[in-house]
Amino acid sequence: MKNFFLINYGCQMNVLEAEKMKGLLIAEGYEEAPDEFNSDVVIMNTCAVRETAERKIFGKIGQIRKHGRPGLLIAVCGCVTQVSGESIFEKYPGIDIVLGSGNKMNIAAYLSKAGSSARILDLGNGPERDSAECAQLAKRGSEYSAFIEIMKGCDNFCAYCIVPYARGGEVSLPPVLVLDEIKMLIDRGYKEFTLLGQNVNSYGKKFADGSERRFRFHDLLGEIEKIKGIFRLRFITSHPRDLSSETIDVMASSGIIAHSLHLPAQSGSDRILKAMNRGYTISEYLEKVERLKKDIPGFAFTTDIIFGFPGETESDYRDTLNLMERVRFKNAFLFRYSERRKTAASGISEGLVDNEEKLSRLQNAIEIQKKISLEESIGYVGATKNVLFSSLDRKGRNISGRDTHDMIVIVENNMDKLGTVRDVLIERANSFTLYGRLKSA
């Protein structure tokens, strides 16, 4: 019997796929190793969104080869391999198996073929493992809160983004599969769910079973709303262009959908948004933000923003800072632009922002966002939050969960309350975390 260790990088979709891969391997008789240096097989589930992530991955491969077991097999799968193709073997000779984004669920079959001198390369997209089987066997990171895949791929081709090249075009899972998975997990004791897709708001354009029924994201939310036993429902990621009035209506009337939304703005400048091929203006973005704030008092937003995209002027930069101040994002994931080959922006040679200026703009924005995040968090002190305690904190001594505004809430000790929903009086806060005590039942 061989053991394995899986190292995951990147987004929540990668987290879910890693959970499924683990479950499938265990079902095939593999055991999970304690770490990568005491394993017969190391699997790296990769992310290509940012260049720094890619560099970390291959630095890790060298470290494992140096300190790992003799005869160790290394398999690399996911977005980096899909983009790099066969050249990945030339750059990094320490890899034994290379799989793409669409066939990683077949990892056990490829491992059974490995071990000879010939290395394995397969970047194809099929045949895929049955979605229901993968969901059934997944080794999930929590016993109470779960990710649910509702679609794959992306059709947007934002000028800076590698995802459509790494994951292909949009394909939605049929609603019955999504609904059945949620019901199955409720029967196992799960109470909180996060729907995943590169752009959940465009759910229903094309289904994996070949059908093209008129069933959109707000329809799916409405059907999930009917399922008994759900404490809270979240979804990511939402494209601002495709966030519909119907979806906002469902969110406003729902008893389970969280009062928070990750809505990537990417820039506060209409000119830069057009160059990015984002498909909306700032006034359109703000219209949806204000509608949600009006319909759901206290609604919270998080976002992604890129600084130093080619052509970004000081005026464009100031527009972005103004957007941050106006929306007052609870949290923001801020990055300086880095070119990704194969994307539309990779060929731009005019209006480039030098690295020193990009870094300066980013660091200034980070300081502004830190101040906003802290002020927003402190505003929750004294409030009562309804929380599902789904895990332990990083130190493993306290229970942790997320409130409706997607804030981490920690209560000291009370291990017996793990998996329960409780009211918490918030007593103190930092930029990302709320600390409180349980209120009497």
pLDDT at 129: 77
Nearest CA among 77, 92, 76, 73 for reference residue 33: 73
pLDDT at 125: 63
pLDDT at 16: 97
pLDDT at 126: 61
Contact 264, 257 (CB under 8 A): no
pLDDT at 155: 95
Residue 418 burial by Cβ neighbours in a 10 Å radius (0-12, 13-18, 19+): middle
pLDDT at 88: 82
Contact 276, 305 (CB under 8 A): no
pLDDT at 71: 87
With a CB cutoff of 8 Å and minimum separation 6, the contacts of 398 are 392, 410, 411, 412, 413, 414
pLDDT at 441: 63
Strand 433-438 relative to strand 421-429, pairing: antiparallel
With a CB cutoff of 8 Å and minimum separation 6, the contacts of 39 are 3, 4, 5, 33, 68, 69, 72
Stretches where the chain sits below pLDDT 50 are none
pLDDT at 115: 65
pTM for the whole thing? 0.95
- Alpha-carbon separation of residue 317 from 16, 181, 398 (angstroms): 35, 44, 41
Task: Classify residue 168 as left (phi > 0), alpha (psi -120 to 50) or beta.
Answer: left
pLDDT at 90: 79
Contact 316, 272 (CB under 8 A): yes
**Which 3-state string (H, E, C) describes the chain?**
CCEEEEEECCCHHHHHHHHHHHHHHHHCCCEECCCHHHCCEEEEEECCCCHHHHHHHHHHHHHHHHHCCCCCEEEEEEHHHHHHCCHHHHHCCCCCEEECCCCHHHHHHHHHHCCCCCCEEECCCCCCCCHHHHHHHCCCCCCCEEEEECEECCCCCCCCCCHHHHHCCCEECCHHHHHHHHHHHHHCCCCEEEEECCCHHHCCCCECCCCCCCCCHHHHHHHHHCCCCCCEEEEECCCHHHCCHHHHHHHHHCCCECCEEECCCECCCHHHHHHHCCCCCHHHHHHHHHHHHHHCCCCEEEEEEEECCCCCCHHHHHHHHHHHHHHCCCEEEEEECCCCCCCHHHHCCCCCCCHHHHHHHHHHHHHHHHHHHHHHHHCCCCCEEEEEEEEECCCCCEEEEECCCCCEEEEEECHHHCCCEEEEEEEEECCCEEEEEECCC
With a CB cutoff of 8 Å and minimum separation 6, the contacts of 334 are 304, 305, 307, 362, 365, 366, 369
The predicted-structure confidence for 342-387, as pLDDT tens digits, reads as follows 899 998 888 999 999 999 999 999 999 999 999 999 999 999 999 9
